[in-house]
Structure 1
Amino acid sequence: MIRVLLADDETIIRAGVRAILTTEPGIEVVAEASDGREAVELARRHRPDVALLDIRMPEMDGLTAAGELRTTNPGTAVVVLTTFGEDKYIEKALDHGVAGFLLKASDPRDLISGVRAVASGGSCLSPLVARRLMTELRRAPSPRAEASIERTALLTRREQEVLGMLGAGLSNAEIARRLHLVEGTIKTYVSAIFTQLEVRNRVQAAIIAYEAGLVKDTDRAR
């Protein structure tokens, strides 16, 4: 059973997300909070597998709460619930070790698959957010783009290929099928990529892949 903590200061948002999650077998909402400080306290008490946090909340915002949870509840994977208007928070959220970003208006299937992904040690990035990031980076390359290109240049050609597919949102199993390899081999590649790039999760690796120009439209999941 995947235990989820839900934190949002809007009651109707919490009700909607809870309704989606509780209809899915194997997922249980164990606690709800209306602000970041309450979320941190409830996480200490309930030890959830996943915490879904709104960014803008009273008392303590979602990013600060994410940082607190990384220290007090390292076993809890944090997913930020965001909107298009909050793209500027993505870099800050990465610094706080979040495992993913989901839009509040996401397809319910994206929400469920995202929760399952981070609960199993992966990460999630809403397809709409991923496309928005790619568009923004193409139009106005990040100041970090040159550094990302240099970092990924140290990877082997195969590792760069895997990183590009990872950035496009493919799972290890999907990458394995594309490259005609076994999934265990892809896991080894991903681990090596994380070590070389000094990142903690797939979302951070994906951002570097975007910035380095390794993500191709043809790599995206179909």
Structure 2
Amino acid sequence: MANLKRMGLMCILPLLALSAGCQQRTPVALKAPMVKPGDVIFQESMSDLSTAIKFATHSKYSHCGIIFSVNGELYVYEALQPVRYTPLSAWVARGRNGHYVIKRLKNADSVLTTATLDKMMEAGKKYNGKNYDFYFGWSDERIYCSELVWKIYKEATGLELGKLQQLKDFDLNSPAVKKQMQQIYGDKIPLSEQIISPVSMFNSPLLTTVAEQ
């Protein structure tokens, strides 16, 4: 257990450094009606862990969150460290070159009613403040970005955004991936662990792109 804690600390340092550096960026303006509560937003983040995710999934989109309206302002509910609400403009500014893609349920007008959105926010409450899951486990003890969005949608709507895979289904051969795997798991890699990746959600046939920059 002590080794796991040390490995978790090794993995969290690049992400904390990334967050500290990105606070100096100027937030961009991004307002409704382009964006609606319940939308899923994707970006390319810049930590070492995110680089490994990109190599493993063959996609530049390594981080995602779900957009909610809180007191009339737009926020991204995300699993970073810890799980939290981040102002939408600040979230966008934190990604590489401010690039983002926003996706929406194709039948959002009928599914994402006010009652359903309230249910989604309620479903997300139990994760608020939880630690980021660098081990990419499927339990609710810790949680990672795409897992957070997937579980909220599943609980509140019954919909599965993206296909669940096992760790062994990803490309684990690049040096960047091997380095992160060694830091996180050591020699005991849980190849059968169930995982939902950002790119699997990005490619979900249930979603359509509504905004991109």
* Structure holding more strand per residue: 2
TM-score by length of 1: 0.27
TM-score by length of 2: 0.28
Greater RCO (CA < 8 Å, at least 6 residues apart): 2
